């Protein structure tokens, strides 16, 4: 978080203002305002070592807020937090964005962060822009295989061979949530290799002869276990088609 360990939260947040030689009254007001926005008022006299990871992250954000920038750049700010804290901080940064109404550029490898926090996503691949759009634009209409594989969790099933050719494509893509599961009949038949029961949802990893490994999303009440036979039917209206260069058709 690039915090000064020997300084209090108050002095960490105030540091850039002191370097700018602002009046003490102005510094105190800006620090108090930032602390209130970030729910840090009760922690201003503590040192970074006495804070949780999420609180330290908020202190670092506070140090940027007091400078009143025209834009914020976040470079994977949640990467070293545990899963529960990442979820909390996603909400806090989103709320902060709504409060400050300032442009935020947020760099992440986590598509969940991108989908839940962004107004607009720029998908980069080795320095090249693959697609720009809102989260749902990228989800519904990925421009190529790279974007299709990045957006969505679990990731899109990408299928080659006869099925893709029948759809007039080199590769056909269908998301796990766009597969209809049955224990009686369907277009494909396969065996469950892994069943991930998450309560509200169940993710089934299925080996389908002639198609390959498929991930399907089912209702949490769909009873299934390793070794069970299931039938799968893709929703024809939700199939994505890609040419031999990986571009969407």
Q: Give a yes or no: residue 75 inside a domain.
A: no
Q: Give a yes or no: residue 60 inside a domain.
A: yes
Q: Give a yes or no: residue 212 inside a domain.
A: yes
Q: Rounded CA gap, 233 and 182, in Å?
A: 8
Q: Give a yes or no: residue 210 inside a domain.
A: yes
- Residue 222's SS3 state is coil
pTM to 2 decimal places: 0.83
Q: Rounded CA gap, 194 and 207, in Å?
A: 10
Q: Give a yes or no: residue 208 inside a domain.
A: yes
Do 210 and 166 belong to one domain? yes
Do 146 and 161 belong to one domain? no
Q: Give a yes or no: residue 87 inside a domain.
A: no
For position 1, what pLDDT does the model report?
67
Q: Give a yes or no: residue 73 inside a domain.
A: no
Do 162 and 237 belong to one domain? yes
Do 130 and 186 belong to one domain? no
Do 164 and 193 belong to one domain? yes
Q: Give a yes or no: residue 95 inside a domain.
A: no
Each residue's pLDDT expressed in tens, for the chain with a length of 249 residues:
689 999 999 999 999 999 999 999 999 999 999 999 898 999 999 999 999 988 998 999 999 999 999 999 999 988 888 888 888 889 989 999 998 999 999 999 999 999 999 999 999 999 999 999 999 999 999 999 999 999 998 999 999 999 999 999 999 999 999 999 999 999 999 999 999 999 999 999 999 999 999 999 999 999 899 999 999 999 999 999 999 999 999
Do 136 and 184 belong to one domain? no
Do 191 and 218 belong to one domain? yes
Q: How many domains does the chain have?
A: 3
For position 158, what pLDDT does the model report?
97
For position 53, what pLDDT does the model report?
87
User: Do 159 and 211 contact (CB within 8 A), yes or no?
Assistant: yes
Enclosing domain of residue 16: 1-68
Helix %, strand %, coil % of the chain (to 5): 35, 30, 35
């Amino acid at each position: 978080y690039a915090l000064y360990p020997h300084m209090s939260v108050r002095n960490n947040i105030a540091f850039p203002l002191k370097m700018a030689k602002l009046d003490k009254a102005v510094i105190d007001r800006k620090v108090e305002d930032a602390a209130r926005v970030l729910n840090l008022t009760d922690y201003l006299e503590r040192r970074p070592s006495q804070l949780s990871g999420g609180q330290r992250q908020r202190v670092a954000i506070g140090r940027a807020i007091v400078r009143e920038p025209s834009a914020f750049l976040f470079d994977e700010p949640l990467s070293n937090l545990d899963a529960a804290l990442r979820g909390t901080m996603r909400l806090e940064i989103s709320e902060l964005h709504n409060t400050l109404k300032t442009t935020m550029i947020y760099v992440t490898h986590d598509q969940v962060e991108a989908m839940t926090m962004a107004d607009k996503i720029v998908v980069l691949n080795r320095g090249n822009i693959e697609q720009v759009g809102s989260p749902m634009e990228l989800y519904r209409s990925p421009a190529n295989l790279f974007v299709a594989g990045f957006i969505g969790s679990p990731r899109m099933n990408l299928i080659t061979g006869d099925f893709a050719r029948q759809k007039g494509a080199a590769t056909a893509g269908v998301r796990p949530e766009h597969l209809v599961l049955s224990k009686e009949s369907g277009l494909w038949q396969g065996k469950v290799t892994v069943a991930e029961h998450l309560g509200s949802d169940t993710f089934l990893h299925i080996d389908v002869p002639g198609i390959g490994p498929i991930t399907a999303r089912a209702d949490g009440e769909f009873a299934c276990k390793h070794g069970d036979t299931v039938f799968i039917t893709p929703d024809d209206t939700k199939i994505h088609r890609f040419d031999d260069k990986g571009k969407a058709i």
